[in-house]
Chain A
Amino acid sequence: MLLIKCPYCGERAEVEFANGGEAHIARPADPMTLSDEEWAQYLYMRDNPKGLIAERWRHAHGCGRFFNALRDTRTDRFVMTYEMGQPRPDVTPEQAAEAAR
């Protein structure tokens, strides 16, 4: 089970959280002009990276709030969690190496 650091409540067990999939997928600003291909990209296509992923979590059985996390999908180690609305943080080579370890 993962140990996840909610930015508001601190470290809690994974069972308190709901995963929300890849983060930073912006809702289309002007949906009426979107092509079918662009809708498919927004709704269904995913990077599914083997390595660092930015993903959403919700502290469903806690504060109830969404936040983002950076995690290495090869090891499941978190680099950091951060609040909604912040851009994807830069990761230092040392942080990336630690997460990949």
Chain B
Amino acid sequence: MQKFSAFSLFRQALGAHQGWKPQWRSVKPKAAYDIIIVGGGGHGLGAAYYLAKQHGLRNIAVVERGWLAGGNTARNTTIIRSNYLFDESSSYYEHSLKLWEGLSQELNYNVMFSQRGCLMIAHTVHDVQVFKRHVHANRLNGIDNEWLTPQEVKEFCPPLNISPNIRYPILGGALQRRAGTARHDAVAWGFARAASDMGVDIIENCEVTGITRAPSGEVTGVETTLGPIKARKIGVSAAGHSSVVLGMAGIRLPLQSNPLQALVSEPVKPAFPTIVMSNTIHAYISQSDKGEMVIGAGTDSYVSYTQRGGLHIPAHTLEAITELCPMFRRLRMMRSWGGITDNTPDRSPITAKTSVPGLYVNCGWGTGGFKATPGAANLFAWTIAKDEPHPINAPFTIERFRDGTLIDEAAAAAVAH
């Protein structure tokens, strides 16, 4: 692997940058691996990386139906935060945030993690009470979160309109200063490059069409469009297609796949210093390093795998954003797209063993999986390597829906992911 540094940049410059090599190996699948990860997005590539890095395993393949990180890794709005209400969730997301803080150094790859803060705006008395509860719960868990008055909100993010005369006036906000954004592609590329360097095979354009099992029940490999591949363990990290892949092993999941849309504006000069989220009126905006306003819209209500969605969904969020930030009213939107999110009934993920021996799943991240990329990858790798969950992801089982131990972030926390 070519290490990136000021020195290597200088040396390559002397050769007119003709000496850079591909960052990961392009391979044909071998006949058998110890572990196959299904899904070459950030979570899957990260799991392969941590399996190699932390657990010393080498005979690993990542199989990806399309191209690398072309699904939800390429389609999200890149928000990273850990200000969740419940102990189980906040420790999971905080584990991830801590990994983000050292990720560029660890991978020798600039993931452009920018801790610009995430400001969750309150518009009603209920919002104020809920967010203050969040602030207190987070601080008890050692996670930074603080309450801002409307004037402090305005000082921190000047484009916001704090007039009391708008339909949903700003009554304050909860600010997590360590929250931020990152370059989504770079995370996947960084993991792929580091994993490939340790011997992980990354196989693109290889769709899994079946999961083969021994008569005793355990997995023996996968059928793919490039032929069968044997494996002792299979980790499925297939986001919106998790139901489809696990259905091949006869497992039903508590998931619904819905389109989630996002859109970006034309690029403008730096104008928006932080991430602003409003759950009540559904605004969700930050500015990318390229200058585009990155806007997350809502979820379409129906099950779909189309990676599209209705135009009324982004229109709704633009109405909210133009009321909160009147100066964006003449901003032109450049692109919009959809990704397929796998939503659980309690809006918390599943990172767990399944009822099939040797088959593991990391799914249910719904509308908020990007922030968890290194954390989920790290804990999924642990779960696969040790055949048991890490204490942090132990509550995030499929069985919680049978046992009634839901982690009900959706209802209790009013979290827009």
Interface of A toward B, CB cutoff 8 Å = 1-2, 14-15, 18-19, 21-22, 36-37, 39-41, 43-50, 53, 55, 71, 73-76
Q: A14-B312, A36-B403 are in contact. Are A41 and B252 (CB under 8 A)?
A: yes
B394 on interface, CB distance cutoff 8 Å: no
What is the bound-complex CA distance between A50 and B345, given in angstroms?
Answer: 19
Query: How many angstroms from the CA of A21 to the CA of B256 in the assembled complex?
Result: 9
User: Given the complex of chains A and B, what is the CA–CA distance between A15 and B302 in angstroms?
Assistant: 12
Is B286 an interface position by the 8 A CB rule?
no
Residue of B nearest to A74 (CB): B305
Question: Please, which residues of chain B bring their CB within 8 A of the CB of A46?
Answer: 243, 252-256
A45/B253 contact (C-beta < 8 A), A1-B311, A2-B310, A36-B403 known = yes
A21 surroundings in chain B (CB, below 8 A): 256, 303
Residues of chain B from 366 to 417 with CB closer than 8 A to chain A in the complex: 401-404
- In the assembled complex, the CB of B342 is this many whole angstroms from the nearest CB of chain A, namely 8
B198 interface residue per 8 A CB criterion? no
Which of these, A45, A53, A55, contacts B254 with CB under 8 Å? Answer: A45
Q: Is the CB of A48 within 8 A of B257?
A: yes
Does B255 contact A48, Cβ atoms closer than 8 Å?
yes
**Interface assignment of B123: CB less than 8 Å from any CB of chain A:** no
Question: Which 7 pairs show the lowest CB-CB distances between chains A and B?
Answer: A48-B243, A44-B254, A19-B301, A40-B402, A1-B310, A44-B401, A45-B252
> Considering only CB atoms, which chain B residue lies closest to A37 in the complex?
B402
B304 touches A73 (CB 8 A): yes
Tell me the bound Cα distance from A37 to B255 in angstroms. Answer: 16
B residues neighboring A (CB under 8 Å):
241, 243-244, 252-257, 301-306, 308, 310-312, 345, 401-404
| Besides A45-B254, A50-B305, 9 other A-B contacts (C-beta < 8 A) | A15-B312, A36-B402, A43-B345, A45-B253, A47-B252, A48-B244, A48-B257, A73-B304, A74-B305
Q: How far is the CB of B166 from chain A (nearest CB, A)?
A: 24
Q: A21-B256, A74-B306 are in contact. Are A45 and B301 (CB under 8 A)?
A: no
A48–B402 Cα distance when bound, in Å, is: 18
Which of B244, B310, B312, B402 is most buried by chain A, counting CB atoms within 10 A of its CB?
Answer: B402
Residue of B nearest to A38 (CB): B402
Q: Which residues does chain B contribute within 8 Å of A37, judged by CB atoms? A: 402
Which residues of chain A come closer than 8 Å to B303, judged between CB atoms? 21-22, 48-49, 53, 55, 73
Contact of A48 among B253, B301, B401, B403 (CB under 8 A): B253
- What chain A residues lie within 8 Å of B255 (beta carbons)? 46, 48
Contacts of B345 in A (CB 8 A): 43-44
| Contact residues in B for A36 (Cβ distance below 8 Å) | 402-404
A-B contact pairs, 26 of them (CB 8 A): A1-B311, A2-B310, A15-B312, A21-B303, A22-B303, A36-B403, A37-B402, A40-B402, A44-B401, A45-B254, A45-B401, A46-B252, A46-B254, A46-B256, A47-B252, A48-B244, A48-B253, A48-B255, A48-B257, A48-B303, A50-B257, A50-B305, A55-B302, A55-B303, A73-B303, A73-B306
Are B402 and A73 interface neighbours, CB within 8 A?
no
- Contact of A19 with B402 in the complex, beta carbons under 8 Å: no
Interfacial chain A residues near B312, Cβ < 8 Å:
1, 14-15
Give the complex CA separation of A75 and B304 in angstroms. Answer: 8
In the complex, residue of chain B having the shortest beta-carbon distance to the beta carbon of A18: B301
Question: Can you name the residue of chain B whose Cβ is closest to the Cβ of A17?
Answer: B301
How far is B256's CA from A2's CA once the two chains are assembled, in angstroms? 19
* Contact assessment for A14 and B310 in the assembled complex, using a CB-CB cutoff below 8 Å: yes
> What residues of A have a CB within 8 angstroms of the CB of B308 in the complex?
76
Who on chain A is nearest to B244 by CB? A50
> How many Å lie between the Cα of A50 and that of B304 in the bound state?
8
Whether B306 and A75, one on each chain, are in contact in the complex, defined by CB atoms closer than 8 angstroms, is yes
Min CB gap B38→A, angstroms: 15
CA of A16 to CA of B168, assembled, Å: 24
